[in-house]
C-alpha cells in the first residue's frame, strides 16, 4: 500500500472514530451536545484536526445523518430478502424501518430533527452531497421493489412515476413517526391505540388503491406481518432484538 492510500485509510478511520464519539455525545447528552468544542473535549484530537474533517457543526451533523441513513438502507436491503411476494417484501422493509426507530430512538430523533432542519444552508457541498447520496439509496430500495412488482405482474400500470409514489410511501412512514415523536398524546387524541397498526392499515389502503396484489382481502396480512417480525428479529441482529411493536 502506497503512502497516499495509507493516509487516506488513516483519515477515514479517524473520521469514523470522531463519528463514534459524536454518537456517544448524542446518546449521553442529546443533540445540543453535538458541537465541535464538545467533540474536541471528548476526543484526543485538537480542534484543528477536527476541522480537517468537518468545516463546521453542520458538516458533523450531516455526517452523522448520512451514517444513520446508511444503516437504515442496509436494514432495508436485508429485509427485502424476506421470502414472500413483492408486497410482502415491501411490508418487510417497512417493519425493518420501524425496528430501527424502536431500537435506536435517539438516532431516529436526530434524523427527524436534521432532515427537517436547514443543514444545507451551512454544510459544505461535500458532506451535503454524501447525505443526498444516502437518501438516494433509500429511494433505490423502493424503486427496485416497484420494478420487481411490475415484472411479477403484482402491480399494474400507474398514472404516476414510481419516484413520486416512493416519496409518498416514505412520507407516510416518516411523517407518522415525526408526529408520533413530537406529540405522543396526538395519537391518543386521534383514537390511535397503536401507531404501527395504524401505519400498516394506511399502507394497505394505499397499496390496495394502487392495485398491488395480493390485495388486503386476498391475503391474511396479519399472519404475514407476524411472520415478517420473526424474520426481521432473526435476520437483523443489528436491531438489538427490541420487543415487537
pLDDT tens by residue, 103-113: 777 777 777 76
Give residue 242's pLDDT: 44
In this prediction, residue 21 carries a pLDDT of 92
CATH 1.10.357.10 residue ranges for the chain: 58-239
Q: What is the CATH architecture of 58-239?
A: Orthogonal Bundle (1.10)
What is the pLDDT at residue 101? 81
Cβ count within 10 A of residue 202: 14
How confident is residue 153, by pLDDT bands cut at 50, 70 and 90?
very high
Sequence-distant (6+) residues with CB within 8 A of 100 are 71, 72, 75, 108, 239
CA 85 to chain centre: 22
pLDDT for 43: 87
- What's the confidence (pLDDT) of residue 239? 41
Please tell me the class of the 1-53 domain: mainly alpha
**pLDDT tier, 116 (very low <50, low <70, confident <90, very high otherwise):** low
pLDDT digits (tens, 9 = 90+) for 3-60: 888 888 988 999 999 999 998 988 888 778 888 999 998 888 888 999 999 999 889 9
**Which whole number is the average pLDDT over 133-154?**
90
Report CA dihedral (149, 152, 155, 158) to the nearest 10 degrees: 90
Ranges in the chain annotated CATH 1.10.10: 1-53
User: Mean pLDDT, the chain, as a whole number?
Assistant: 85
Query: What is d(CA 143, CA 137) in angstroms, rounded to the nearest whole number?
Result: 10
| pLDDT level of residue 117 (50, 70, 90 thresholds) | low
Q: Residue 243: its pLDDT value, please?
A: 46
Read off φ and ψ for residue 34, nearest 5 degrees: -85, 90
Q: Which pLDDT score, from 0 to 100, does residue 98 have? A: 85
pTM of the model: 0.83
pLDDT at position 173 over 90: no
Cα 226 from Cα 245, distance rounded (Å): 10
Who wins on pLDDT, 94 or 182? 94
Amino acid at each position: 500500500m502506497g503512502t497516499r492510500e495509507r493516509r487516506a485509510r488513516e483519515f477515514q478511520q479517524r473520521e469514523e472514530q470522531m463519528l463514534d464519539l459524536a454518537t456517544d455525545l448524542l446518546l449521553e447528552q442529546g443533540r445540543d451536545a453535538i458541537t465541535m468544542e464538545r467533540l474536541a473535549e471528548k476526543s484526543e484530537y485538537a480542534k484543528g484536526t477536527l476541522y480537517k474533517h468537518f468545516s463546521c457543526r453542520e458538516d458533523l451533523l450531516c455526517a452523522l445523518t448520512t451514517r444513520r441513513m446508511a444503516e437504515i438502507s442496509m436494514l432495508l436491503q436485508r429485509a427485502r430478502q424476506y421470502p414472500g411476494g413483492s408486497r410482502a417484501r415491501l411490508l418487510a422493509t417497512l417493519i425493518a424501518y420501524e425496528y430501527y426507530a424502536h431500537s435506536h430512538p435517539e438516532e431516529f430523533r436526530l434524523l427527524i430533527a436534521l432532515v427537517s432542519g436547514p443543514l444545507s444552508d451551512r454544510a459544505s457541498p461535500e458532506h451535503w452531497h454524501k447525505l443526498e447520496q444516502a437518501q438516494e439509496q433509500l429511494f433505490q430500495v423502493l424503486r427496485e421493489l416497484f420494478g420487481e412488482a411490475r415484472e411479477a405482474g403484482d402491480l399494474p400500470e400507474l398514472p404516476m412515476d414510481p419516484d413520486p409514489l416512493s416519496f409518498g410511501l416514505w412520507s407516510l412512514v416518516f411523517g407518522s413517526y415525526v408526529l408520533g415523536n413530537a406529540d405522543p398524546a396526538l395519537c391518543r387524541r386521534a383514537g390511535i391505540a397503536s401507531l404501527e397498526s395504524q401505519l400498516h392499515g394506511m399502507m394497505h389502503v394505499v397499496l390496495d388503491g394502487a392495485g398491488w396484489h395480493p390485495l388486503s382481502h386476498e391475503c391474511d396480512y396479519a399472519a404475514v406481518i407476524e411472520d415478517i417480525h420473526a424474520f426481521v428479529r432473526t435476520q437483523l441482529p443489528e436491531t438489538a432484538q427490541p420487543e415487537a411493536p
